[in-house]
Amino acid sequence: MTASETPHWTNSDRQFGSVAKLFHWLTALLILTALPLGLIANWLPYDTSEELALKATLFSLHKTIGVTAFFVALLRILWAIVQPRPRLLNAGHGVEAILAEATHWVLYVSLVIVPLSGWLHHAATTGFAPIWWPFGQNLPFVPQSESVAKFFTAWHWLFTKLLALAIFLHIAGALKHHYVDRDATLARMLRGRPDLPADLPDSPATESRRAFGLAAGIWALALAGGTALGLQSDHEATGPALAEVQSEWQVTDGALEITVQQLGSAVTGQFADWTAQIDFSETASDGVHGAVEVIIAIPSLSLGGVTPQALEAEFFNAEAFPTAQFAGPILATEDGYVVDGMLTLVGQEVPARLPFTLEIEGDTATATGSLSLDRRDFGMGPSYPDEASVGFGADVAVSVTATRNTE
């Protein structure tokens, strides 16, 4: 089959086939839709329930289109691998040809890394704005970890800028070919098959090698920059460091987790910085087995994708109230024990009961407990008067390992 007889759906060394054109314009449509959606969603406020719902909807649309673009980009690259590559119309033009080919390489890789890094970030964190598809929100081998999420956020942010630059150069180059050089570079990616010169030169091997080398250098810089940004924490506690406490039982390990509902989905996080002063005796004195006082550094909260919102004045108001306190006596129950105390949070003091189970082996004690709170009791979230976007309840889970202080 001669070049003139090549089916219109495949490439030749002179023309792009209809399949390549479809992948090109479909990718362009998806990316040029996803990019502004992401920007708009980032800019939108979320001061009310309605604003939060709109913001989440746009983020879900952005993520869904992004995942679609990832698979389309993969198919486009696979198709390009098995198809002949049409010759450049400016082959042999030195720097211009090298820059054009390098831009294509950068564009191809960015089309994969940008949506993939966004998808990896989504899988590593919890929060609102799910991907609209039936295959779940997690990915194999990707743990739900704030450090992992921050790492891929940095990649996504940097490669998005690189993708935008590559798209700009790609469009600028196409327009130059069409209006300045007046060749068929742009026309042969449109419908039909334009007339081309009878003889098209091959790209010199040195041009191709230099173009790939330039693109590889850009990739290396972007990967190094994204990795360096990703290894830096974008959320650092701004509250005062909590002083160490000495008590009858010294905490050696533990976790303080919180789970809230955002747009009908559970979001779980934890406070990284807290202290517990625990006095406990297995023998009660006047019905009391001891007492507990817990101090929590509110800015140390990590709550998936909703951390910034949670720390704002509408909810935890971490700037004005950097610490919370839970204190009370330890009482026995039929199933274990309970701390019948008061929780001071965002300036409000509310009664709270924390039932827990306790196991003691020698001088080591392990306790686990949980309680449910209502944000309305603390005046949190007044701009969200219903549970359509932010649930009223919050579940707190506590696990502690402590050793008896024998000194």
pLDDT band at 206 (very low <50, low <70, confident <90, very high): confident
pLDDT at site 265: 85
**Least confident span in 37-46, 189-198, 348-357:** 189-198
The answer to whether residue 74 scores a pLDDT higher than 50 is: yes
Residue 203: what pLDDT? 63
For 218-229, what is each residue's pLDDT tens digit? 999 999 999 998
pLDDT at 25 over 60: yes
pTM: 0.82
pLDDT of 205 above 80: no
pLDDT tens for residues 365-377? Answer: 999 999 999 999 9
pLDDT of residue 207: 77
Q: CB 213: neighbour CB atoms within 10 A?
A: 13
pLDDT, mean of residues 49-70: 94
Using DSSP's 3-state secondary structure scheme, residue 184 falls into coil
In this predicted structure, the answer to whether residue 3 has a pLDDT above a threshold of 50 is: no
pLDDT at 1 over 80: no
The answer, yes or no, to whether residue 4 has pLDDT greater than 70, is no
More confident residue, 146 or 200: 146
How far is 93 from 186, CA to CA, in rounded Å?
Answer: 17
In a 10 Å sphere around its CB, with 0-12 CB exposed, 13-18 middle and 19+ buried, how is residue 215 labelled?
buried
Model confidence at 126, pLDDT cuts 50, 70, 90, reads confident
User: What domains are there in the chain, each with its CATH number?
Assistant: 3-230 (no CATH), 249-404 (2.40.128.110)
pLDDT of residue 89: 76
| Digit-coded pLDDT (tens) for 303-344 | 988 898 999 999 999 999 999 999 999 999 998 999 999 999
Q: Distances in Å between the alpha carbon of 279 and those of 66, 243, 247, 351, 395?
A: 53, 18, 6, 20, 25
**Confidence grade of residue 233 (pLDDT, cut at 50, 70, 90):** low
> How would DSSP label each residue in 195-259?
---S--PPPPHHHHHHHHHHHHHHHHHHHHHHHHHHTS-S----SPPPPP---SEEEEEEEEEEE
For residue range 135-174, what is the model confidence (pLDDT) as tens digits?
Answer: 999 999 999 888 899 899 999 999 999 999 999 999 999 9
Which tokens sit at 276? 């517990």
Alpha carbon distance 122, 57 (integer Å): 15
| Model confidence at 216: pLDDT above 90 | yes
- Among the ranges 83-97, 186-200, 260-274, which has the highest mean pLDDT value? 260-274
Look up residue 377 and give its two tokens: 């009791």
> Any idea what DSSP says for residue 269?
E
Q: How far apart are CA 380 and CA 97, in angstroms?
A: 60
